[in-house]
Amino acid sequence: MNSFSSTYHSKISITVTIRSVVLFLLTALTIFNLQAQSTSNDSLCLTKNELRLSQLINQFRVQNKLPEIPLSKSLCFVAKTHVYDLQTNHPDTSICNTASWSNKGNWTPCCYNKYVVNNDWMWDKPKELTSYKYRGYEISYFEEGIVNEDSLFYLWKGTREVLEMLLNKGFHADKKWLAMGVGISDNYASVWLGQRTDIQGKPSICKSDSKSNKVIAKEKSNNSGSTNKTGKYYLIYGSFSQKSDAEEEIKKYQASGLKKAQLIINGEKIRVALGEYETIKEAMAAKEKFKDKYKDAWILKN
């Protein structure tokens, strides 16, 4: 399994080939609780974030003169089950990437890494979990912050391996996607693609933030010491256990000319931001500007 890394704080695993892409980035929004032990998808519905990600993918395909991929109830169930397993059981350890599955459900557990790759473990997950009896192909993603579908897709558009899969190029040029599943949890996202139509049809759209197999909780901070500003992007460089230590670092950065250096507190997380930005493009431009001096800086959306 080939892999590469950059200075964003996130991971992408494309397990349809013997490749894994490791990247790093930002973001904000969603967590759900799914009955992962069940193979029934009767009550499954997509959140607005998951629907948005599927729309971004299809809009991008149309822009590239390709047909939209129909949403699949079965593949959405697989995607949502996988992000639940990743979020809850964390099978993606230091030696296993995000294509991995734990031993805590009604599926075959597996650990993907550059030494041990068995694509059948992944290809057969739709067959194990649903009535979709065909191969499934996955793009899986980890984010240190809270996954935001727009920021995630912005990252994916700059990732060759993802583009080849979404646009049926390269290794996937001989494929025709006829089914798509999407799942998003707090720190993970999963997109599954299939070459056969799903007879189960499309999933419904969740009518509220809480329905049956889905509970969404937006990240909130009640800490009065927080300097968060909703809807901003922050270039983060450092996490601290003590607020006083973080404040000392901010003084150093401000003295060096970074006048917008500030404290970001979310719950128990204490971070130092080098600056704040209105858009993801501005934040990424700043990250590029500071890449030599602050090469491990990453982007957070609040």
β-partners of residue 192 are 138, 181
Q: Judge whether 2 lies within some domain.
A: no
Q: Are residues 86 and 141 in the same domain?
A: yes
Which tokens hold the place of 89?
Answer: 């059981």
Distance CA(202)–CA(191), nearest Å, equals: 15
The residues, ordered by sequence, that sit 6+ positions from 175 with a Cβ below 8 Å of its Cβ are 137, 168, 195
Q: Give the number of other Cβ atoms within 10 Å of residue 36's Cβ.
A: 23
Q: Are residues 158 and 261 in the same domain?
A: no
Q: Judge whether 226 lies within some domain.
A: no
Distance CA(33)–CA(209), nearest Å, equals: 12
Which tokens hold the place of 108?
Answer: 């075959």
pTM above the 0.85 mark?
no
Question: Which position has the token pair 């194990």?
Answer: 128
Q: Which CATH number covers residue 147?
A: 3.40.33.10
The ranges of the chain with pLDDT < 70 are 1-42, 208-231, 302
* End-of-domain residue from the set 186, 215, 244: 215
pLDDT reported for residue 165 = 96
DSSP 8-state secondary structure symbol assigned to residue 104:
S
Domains identified in the chain, total number: 2
Cβ 216 vs Cβ 111: under 8 Å: no
Q: Judge whether 33 lies within some domain.
A: yes
User: Which of 285, 284, 270 lies closest to 238, judged by CA?
Assistant: 270
**N residues, the chain:** 302
State which amino acid sits at residue 55.
Q
Q: Are residues 209 and 243 in the same domain?
A: no
pLDDT reported for residue 219 = 28
Distance CA(188)–CA(49), nearest Å, equals: 12
Q: Are residues 184 and 277 in the same domain?
A: no
Q: Are residues 134 and 283 in the same domain?
A: no
Query: What is the residue range of 114's domain?
Result: 10-215
Q: Are residues 244 and 195 in the same domain?
A: no
Cβ 44 vs Cβ 203: under 8 Å: yes
Q: Judge whether 223 lies within some domain.
A: no
Cβ 39 vs Cβ 49: under 8 Å: no
Which tokens hold the place of 58?
Answer: 């299809």
Q: Are residues 281 and 209 in the same domain?
A: no
Q: Judge whether 222 lies within some domain.
A: no
Beta strands in the chain (DSSP E): 10-14, 45-46, 137-143, 179-184, 188-194, 204-205, 210-211, 214-215, 233-240, 262-266, 269-277, 298-301
Q: Is 203 helix (H, G, I), strand (E, B) or coil?
A: coil
- Could you tell me if residue 150 is left (phi over 0), alpha (psi between -120 and 50 degrees) or otherwise beta? alpha
Distance CA(184)–CA(76), nearest Å, equals: 10
Dihedral sign for Cα 92, 98, 101, 105, please.
Answer: positive
| CA-CA-CA-CA dihedral for 89, 91, 93, 98, to nearest 10 | -120
Q: Judge whether 221 lies within some domain.
A: no
* End-of-domain residue from the set 182, 215, 248: 215
Q: Rg of the chain over CA atoms, in angstroms?
A: 20
pLDDT reported for residue 215 = 32
* End-of-domain residue from the set 181, 215, 249: 215
Q: Judge whether 5 lies within some domain.
A: no
Q: Which CATH number covers residue 256?
A: 3.30.70
Q: Judge whether 106 lies within some domain.
A: yes
Q: Are residues 208 and 108 in the same domain?
A: yes
Q: Are residues 129 and 270 in the same domain?
A: no
Q: Are residues 147 and 288 in the same domain?
A: no
Q: Are residues 237 and 211 in the same domain?
A: no
Q: Are residues 98 and 177 in the same domain?
A: yes
pLDDT reported for residue 224 = 32
Q: Is 285 helix (H, G, I), strand (E, B) or coil?
A: helix
